[in-house]
Amino acid sequence: MTHRARRRSLMLTSAICLVAFVAPADARRHHRPPAAATGSSSSPAASPASAGRPAGAVIPSAFAQPGDADDGPAIGRAAAAAVARGVPLYIDRDYRFSGTLQLPPNLVLRSDFSDTKRLISTGTGDGIVISGPIDMDGVVIDGALPQDAQRSTNIVSGHCLIGIHGDMKGNPSYLSGVRIGRLRIQNTDRIGIVLANLADVQVGRLELHRIYHAASIWTGMKGGHVGQLIADDIGNLRTSGHRGGQAFLMTAEPAVQTDWYAIPGALPVSGFQLDNARITRTTDTAFYVNDDRAKGIDGLVIGTVTIDTAGKDGFKIRSAFRPVTNTRIGSVQVKRVAGVGFSLQHVRRVAAQTVSVDQAGYDAVGDILGHPAPFNGDTLARSISNVPEGVAIVNSDIVSIANLNVSHVTGSPANGAEGNGISLAGNKQVSINGNIDDTAGAGLRDSSNADMDMALTLRDVSRRAAGGAFALVTNDSRPWNATASYAAGDVVTLNGGAFRAIDQNSGQSPPDAAHWAPVNGDGSGNRYRLRMIESSGRPFAGNALRVNGAPDGMDVVVQADPKVFTRSGGAVDRISPAARMVRHDVEDTQDN
């Protein structure tokens, strides 16, 4: 075979390989089943990173010129040449640059997913900005954070190591054609990656390591599919309202302070799918979906999320105004979290198959730092555990958890918050089946809910609350007072309506939507099947079930051993005041 024939054969082979890489991604995009329903962990647009330099690819070092201050200009020239020639840009070694790289549209970027072939951003502004279609695989982007760097407690950068975005100013629009096979982002105190206003983004595997800020921010996703997200060692140590430490944050985020990002131009999120997320060691909420800017978030499909050691909450979806709607969740497993393990606030139509929370109220920041840092108020460099709970669902409609397991919930070390297994407030149509084990506060705390369906086994709960209850059904509302100070979560009544505070406020009258959300539940139509087990042999002077201000129409069945609750002067049940219930049965069980 002649040299020319051999070269044409290699080029043909390369073209076939490129087609083999792209075509399956298109097929998966249109035909893949939902991860939450199937447990699939397939990775869209993901193929193994290229082994070596692709045929015909250009490399940045070939475009270096005398007088270049660093590798940035050479990378820019090489990228432009690659697009012009229709060949990949290959990162063949470490390249350092201090300015912002603006990569051209339609670039094919390749490397070997190697820590010896990195794009290293040594500046403090945005590292790489992409505003056009791109196809990348095997790329490692490094923020040059020194190995001895400390997590910041001061003002931190609002810039990102890499930003990929559609138009957010002038005429906001979704950008199509973004495909990422494997991408690793590491070693930075800037935001790791910001993806904004993208349509049908395809990500195979995104790794986020040692990022002392928010690791990934997702804004304005129309469709899109992420196969796997892996994050470890994430976040800084500022106070709770300003801390950056989320591994996955879906929101219109004011902390992003680049010249191309604009919150008014953030578009709605719809139909986004994440197959698998594995998150370890974050100083803030590990997985957070937040629509406080009322952009609209609908139709999320979340497969499996595993979280270990989070300095605030574990898994959280919330909105202050319009609800986050139509979310499907396969499995969420949270372990060692300072605040709430699994939290839903102002959502509508959420179905979760399995939720597991183990060790809420844990000093996660102390674990990360290697010395105790328990919560003692909203201070720097501390775990944020002012209200530790296993599960908290607030002001939400039509929520179901098919299989729930909560264990080992402690109270707050600073403010006396009890540490409940499940806390429900102001909801309507919530259905939960599961087990609650070993909690400082009540196994179940139910306040101002309606049309609830609870089937729970409560074992060894209410360990901290003197004279407490395994399960507490109550109405926490009180008349609104113009001179009183209210904390987030407080419930008040005014002019026949009930409202829950969404922030700390005083003198702000409901129904001011900036500070108050209407409470859905009136307490009626609730159904409880509660099995109470005390296995430790301790005396328990409280109640198996306590109902304060009970509404009419509850259907309650309690299984409990009367001897457990009466040996120290307690009671199996206490109803105060007596309510007209559809059914109220206390069944004896010796399983204790």
**Of residues 242 and 13, more confidently modeled:** 242
Q: What is the pLDDT of residues 375-406, one digit of tens each?
A: 988 889 999 998 999 999 998 999 999 999 99
Residues in CB range of 3: below 8 A, 6 or more apart = none
Q: What is the structure's pLDDT at 443?
A: 94
Contact predicate 25/179, CB 8 Å:
yes
Q: What is the pLDDT of residues 323-357, one digit of tens each?
A: 999 999 999 999 999 999 999 999 999 999 999 99
Q: Which of 147-151, 366-370, 472-476 has the lowest mean pLDDT?
A: 472-476
Query: 428 φ, ψ to 5°?
Result: -140, 130
> 187 to each of 119, 192, 204, 267, 380, how far by Cα in Å?
12, 9, 21, 30, 22
Q: What is the structure's pLDDT at 184?
A: 98
Ranges of H-type helices in 180-233 = none
Q: Which residue has the tokens 């070993």?
A: 438
Q: What is the structure's pLDDT at 478?
A: 76
The mean pLDDT value for 12-27 works out to 35
User: Given pLDDT bands bounded at 50, 70 and 90, which one contains residue 37?
Assistant: very low
Residues paired with 360 in a beta bridge:
337, 409
The mean pLDDT value for 491-508 works out to 80
Contact predicate 60/72, CB 8 Å:
no
Cis peptide bond N-terminal to 577, omega within 30: yes
Helix (H, G, I), strand (E, B) or coil at 83: helix
CA–CA distance, 384 with 235 (Å, rounded to integer) = 13
Q: What is the structure's pLDDT at 499?
A: 78
CA–CA distance, 238 with 245 (Å, rounded to integer) = 9
State the amino acid at position 22 in one-letter form. Answer: V
Q: What is the pLDDT of residues 147-204, one digit of tens each?
A: 999 999 998 899 999 999 999 998 999 999 999 999 999 999 999 999 999 999 999 9
Q: Which of 143-157, 275-289, 492-506 has the lowest mean pLDDT?
A: 492-506
CA–CA distance, 5 with 214 (Å, rounded to integer) = 51
Q: Is 2 exposed, middle or buried (0-12, 13-18, 19+ CB in 10 A)?
A: exposed
Q: Is 87 exposed, middle or buried (0-12, 13-18, 19+ CB in 10 A)?
A: middle
279 alpha-carbon distance from chain centroid:
10
Q: Is 66 exposed, middle or buried (0-12, 13-18, 19+ CB in 10 A)?
A: exposed
State the amino acid at position 574 in one-letter form. Answer: R
Q: What is the pLDDT of residues 509-530, one digit of tens each?
A: 998 877 887 776 555 678 888 8
Q: What is the structure's pLDDT at 464?
A: 74
Candidates 353, 351, 434, 346; CA nearest to 392 is 346
Q: What's the mean per-residue pLDDT of the chain? A: 85
| pLDDT for residue 33 is more than 80 | no
Q: Which residue has the tokens 């120290």?
A: 568
User: Given pLDDT bands bounded at 50, 70 and 90, which one contains residue 531?
Assistant: confident
**Of residues 511 and 534, more confidently modeled:** 511
| pLDDT for residue 560 is more than 50 | yes
**Of residues 490 and 8, more confidently modeled:** 490
